[in-house]
Amino acid sequence: MTSSSTVTAFLRDRRIAHGVLAEVARRLAETPGGRLAQVFDDVSGDLIKLGRPEERARALALTAVSVSPRQEPVSLLPRHLVWLDAQPGGASATLRRLVETAARDGAGRDRQARDAAYRFLSMMAGDRPGFEAACRALYAGDGPRLRAAMEGWPEDVVDYVEALAAEGLALSACPGEGRDPVWGPAHMDHPRSRG
């Protein structure tokens, strides 16, 4: 998480704040009962702990984290090496093309979106009726079935689950098609749409 990442705060089942972590932490400090809020990262779905005043101060001073590439050896089988060597440009050029194509095509984003939604679901709805069915629908990528499993749940919780999981779900049959329930029309400000 960086200082420009966004978070969403919930007090019980209601969404009470959304924005950059420092801004949300300030708002929670000024809101009656705000210290009881649960704050979630809008990309990962992780719960962010802001319990004690010194933790809040650290959140307010959060700075961008630089990520350096990990340098680990890549293990390939002999048949992989033979195939790579036969490609135009050689093994290195082929690997670079494969990585670029996977990154451009969003490989794995749907799984990351579902995992983020699951983390939030576990914290906010783990004891609700339909939780298991919601998880099965989530990992099946079935938006309409997920919405049906969450019927009767608080609207803010349902909307946030759908927003987190949007890239990993077929939501076309769900109400509100074409709008992001948390960030506005058509994912305009959605954290995953930047990139």
Dihedral (Cα; 155, 23, 4, 116), 10-degree rounding: -30
Reported pTM? 0.64
For the stretch 106-131, pLDDT in tens is 657 888 899 999 999 999 999 999 99
Using a pLDDT cut of 70, give the percent of the chain over it.
72
23-78 pLDDT per residue, tens: 999 999 999 888 899 999 999 999 998 765 555 555 555 434 444 455 677 787 88
Confidence of residue 190 (pLDDT cuts 50, 70, 90): very low
Residue 8 has pLDDT above 80, yes or no: yes
Q: Which residues contact 183 (CB under 8 A, 6 or more apart)?
A: 163, 189, 190, 191
- Please tell me the predicted confidence (pLDDT) of residue 61: 52
Q: What is the C-alpha to C-alpha distance for residues 163 and 42, in angstroms, rounded to an integer?
A: 9
Q: Outline where DSSP puts E strands in 21-98.
A: 38-41, 47-48
pLDDT greater at residue 96 or residue 104: 96
Neighbour-count burial for 108-138, b at 16+ CB within 10 Å, e otherwise:
eeeebbbbbbbbbbeebbeebebbeebbebb
Boundaries of every domain in the chain = 6-60, 80-182
